[in-house]
Structure 1
Amino acid sequence: MSEIKAETLTQVLSNRLGTIINSADFQTKSLHGGTVGDVQLIAGNAKTTDGGNLPFKIVLKTQKKWERYGDPDSWRREYDFYKSNFGVLFSESFRWPECYHAEMNEEQNETQIWMEYIDGLSGSDLTGDMYERAAEELGRFQGKLFAEQPVVLQSLTNLSNVNYMKNFYLHYRSWNRVYDYIRSDDCEIPKHLCNMLIDIDEKADEIFNRIEKLPIVLCHRDFWVANLFYSDGKTILLDWDTAGWGYLGEDIASLIGDEADMEHMVEYYHRCIPAYYKGFSEFADISHLSDNCIYEMILLLFGYRLVEWYMDAGPGNQPQEQNDERTLHIHILQKIHEMRN
């Protein structure tokens, strides 16, 4: 857990509350998320210069240096974004959490970002209407940036590579453990699902040729339900450390395929794609695009990952909890298979 310095906290709270804060009583609580970072909720009462007490909630995200495969500077990207003017690109209805203070410790290779606490619905609490709204808002955001090419966007240097999805897929495909498993006689995944993945492998070059004809947009690249909050009719998007250039639809593939509501995956596939295109089309003409490739993107991003998670859950004679996890991954692959039809 990160050490909280009193002088930093009072500075942050002064920014947050719009008045000079002398001191604060607080408690901390670790929040879920922040896969490789330390995320704390800090809540308490701040003391003003006139003796008043103001309740507050604020989030401190501490990120130490680490190297993500194919994207070594992602650990500091969110800090770089918040230190830029990137925030001006958002709208009232689609934004990130407000930042009250961000600092870099060069000696320890560590960033600290003090940001807004978001109180809203997220994860499994999101409804189909909220999925659709998020897809449309994302399309609108990406379409506006694509059409206007604002100077702020052009000045960002720490962005993930446009080929991130392709490199991610090729990295997984080269891993014999998963590649050989779906082709082996010992594989317990239903054959038609294995064939779905093998078919993608055999057509990968042709698929990427189609994907690479799509518009290049600014992608969040971690656009899944745990990072989406719906609050007061607004969509708020967390965790920008994987953001960068990518292809139209990559984020929608994540929204549909990454630990989404399994029972409604096919429904959301049919609802979110048109909503996304509707939002994007408000700023850019994409009427000529007849092939969105999102089904293929879902398999490229999550096909082998689901195989890996299935294998990690152990063989079928494991405790019920692990067997349930294996069944879940099979069901998700089956839902993806149904999307094709």
Structure 2
Amino acid sequence: MSEIKAETLTQVLSQMLGTKIISADIRTKPLHGGTVGNVRLVTGIAKTTDGGEITYKIVLKTQKKWERYSDPGSWRREYDFYKSSFGALFTESFRWPECYHVEMNEEENETQIWMEYIEGISGVDLTGGMYERAAEELGRFQGKLYAEQPAFLQNMTNLSEVGYMKNFYLHYRSWNRVYDYIRSDDCDIPKHLCKMLIDVDESAEEIFNRIEKLPIVLCHRDFWVTNIIYTDGNIILIDWDTTGWGYLGEDMASLIADDADIEHMVEYYHRCIPAYYKGFSEFADISHITDNCIYEMILLLFGYRLVEGYMDAGAGDKLQETDDERTLHLRTLQKIFEMRNEQ
């Protein structure tokens, strides 16, 4: 874990608090999120030049170099974004945390990002209305970028590629462990759920032909409840390290199915997609799109992942936890199946 330098901290706090800070004490605790990075809440009391004291909270995200499958530059993408003009594209109602300082240690291949601490509602505490608001705000943001085509964004080199979803799916499909399992006699996933996944494999070429007719937009690609913070009616979105070009609706697949609110999954499928399209339509005419392909995207992105999770849970030592996890994955697959019946 990188140590916090007193000189850096006073510089950052001076920027954040708008007054010269001469010293500050430090307390840290890990925050959830940042799956492959180290995210800490840094708190304490900062001292000003006139002897005043200010209580502060700030987030420090440290990221060491690593290679995500088919996206090797993702480890430094948030650093690149915060160094760019990207922040100017946001609005009060949809934005990322404000950044006060970024550093790159070239020798260690490590980035540090000092950013605003956001207090709000996130994760399992999000309500249906908040899901819907997040979907609409994302659609509005993507629609604006789609319509305006900011030149600097078109020229950014460190963005994940349009084919990321396809590569992700094909990578999973080529993995014999999951591919063979749903086709084997030993598989204890209900047959109708296995058939749902097998049908996607058999129709994959046709599905991607349909998806590739959709508009190409800037996708967050990790648009799930833990990265969404609802505060004062606004949406703050964190963890931009997988961001890149993709197809309209990819992020809705994540919102609906990634660590889903299973009880409301089908409801949110019906609520969030119209909200998303409504937001996007404020900037671009997409009335000709009658096939949004989001159901298929959910299966492409999460079908085999859920099978993998089910299989891994089956290898656990704690019987109760294993049963609970396996049930969770099966229930998620079942809800996806129910979506198909309601299309």
Identity %: 81
Q: For 1:141, what is the secondary structure of its paired residue?
A: helix
Q: How far is the alpha carbon of 1:157 from its aligned partner?
A: 1.4
CA contact (8 A) 2:173 2:304 kept: yes
CA contact (8 A) 2:260 2:332 kept: no
CA deviation map 1:57-78 (0-9, x unaligned): 0000000000000000100000
Task: Quote the Cα distance in structure 1 between the aligned partners of 2:29 and 2:182.
Answer: 42
CA contact (8 A) 2:122 2:225 kept: yes
Task: Quote the Cα distance in structure 1 between the aligned partners of 2:81 and 2:316.
Answer: 45
Task: Quote the Cα distance in structure 1 between the aligned partners of 2:157 and 2:176.
Answer: 35
Structure-2 change in CA distance of 1:43 and 1:266 (3 Å): same
Structure 2 unmatched ranges of 5 or more: none
What is residue 310 of structure 1 aligned with on the other side? 310
Task: Quote the Cα distance in structure 2 between the aligned partners of 1:25 and 1:80.
Answer: 29
Q: For 1:29, what is the secondary structure of its paired residue?
A: strand
> What amino acid maps onto 1:3 in structure 2?
E
Task: Quote the Cα distance in structure 2 between the aligned partners of 1:156 and 1:307.
Answer: 36
Q: For 2:29, what is the secondary structure of its paired residue?
A: strand
CA deviation map 1:113-151 (0-9, x unaligned): 000001100000000000000000000000000001112
> What amino acid maps onto 1:248 in structure 2?
L
Task: Quote the Cα distance in structure 1 between the aligned partners of 2:243 and 2:317.
Answer: 40
What is residue 118 of structure 2 aligned with on the other side? 118
What is residue 328 of structure 1 aligned with on the other side? 328
Q: How far is the alpha carbon of 1:155 from its aligned partner?
A: 2.9
Q: For 2:287, what is the secondary structure of its paired residue?
A: coil
Q: How far is the alpha carbon of 1:32 from its aligned partner?
A: 1.2
Q: How far is the alpha carbon of 1:314 from its aligned partner?
A: 1.3
What is residue 38 of structure 2 aligned with on the other side? 38
What is residue 202 of structure 1 aligned with on the other side? 202
> What amino acid maps onto 1:320 in structure 2?
Q
Runs of 4+ in 1 over 3 A off after TM superposition: 315-318
| TM-score, normalised via structure 1 length | 0.99
Q: For 1:203, what is the secondary structure of its paired residue?
A: helix
Once structures 1 and 2 are overlaid, which stretch shifts more, 146-155 or 187-196? 146-155
What is residue 283 of structure 1 aligned with on the other side? 283
| TM-score, normalised via structure 2 length | 0.98
What is residue 181 of structure 1 aligned with on the other side? 181
What is residue 98 of structure 1 aligned with on the other side? 98
Equivalences for residues 20-99 of structure 1 within 5 A: 20-99=20-99
CA contact (8 A) 1:76 1:111 kept: yes
Equivalences for residues 159-174 of structure 1 within 5 A: 159-174=159-174
Equivalences for residues 116-265 of structure 1 within 5 A: 116-265=116-265
Task: Quote the Cα distance in structure 2 between the aligned partners of 1:71 and 1:44.
Answer: 37
> What amino acid maps onto 2:176 in structure 1?
N
Q: For 1:187, what is the secondary structure of its paired residue?
A: coil
> What amino acid maps onto 1:127 in structure 2?
T
Q: CA RMSD in A?
A: 1.0
Task: Quote the Cα distance in structure 1 between the aligned partners of 2:134 and 2:242.
Answer: 18
Q: How far is the alpha carbon of 1:2 from its aligned partner?
A: 2.2
CA deviation map 1:180-239 (0-9, x unaligned): 000000001000000000000000000000000000000000000000000111100000
Task: Quote the Cα distance in structure 2 between the aligned partners of 1:140 and 1:38.
Answer: 31
What is residue 292 of structure 2 aligned with on the other side? 292
CA contact (8 A) 1:317 1:323 kept: no
CA contact (8 A) 1:36 1:63 kept: yes
CA contact (8 A) 1:45 1:56 kept: yes
Task: Quote the Cα distance in structure 2 between the aligned partners of 1:317 and 1:338.
Answer: 31
Q: How far is the alpha carbon of 1:154 from its aligned partner?
A: 1.9
Q: For 2:55, what is the secondary structure of its paired residue?
A: strand
Count the aligned residue pairs.
Answer: 341
Q: For 1:73, what is the secondary structure of its paired residue?
A: helix
CA contact (8 A) 1:2 1:38 kept: no
Task: Quote the Cα distance in structure 1 between the aligned partners of 2:27 and 2:192.
Answer: 52
What is residue 7 of structure 1 aligned with on the other side? 7
Q: How far is the alpha carbon of 1:152 from its aligned partner?
A: 2.9
1:109 maps to 2:106: no
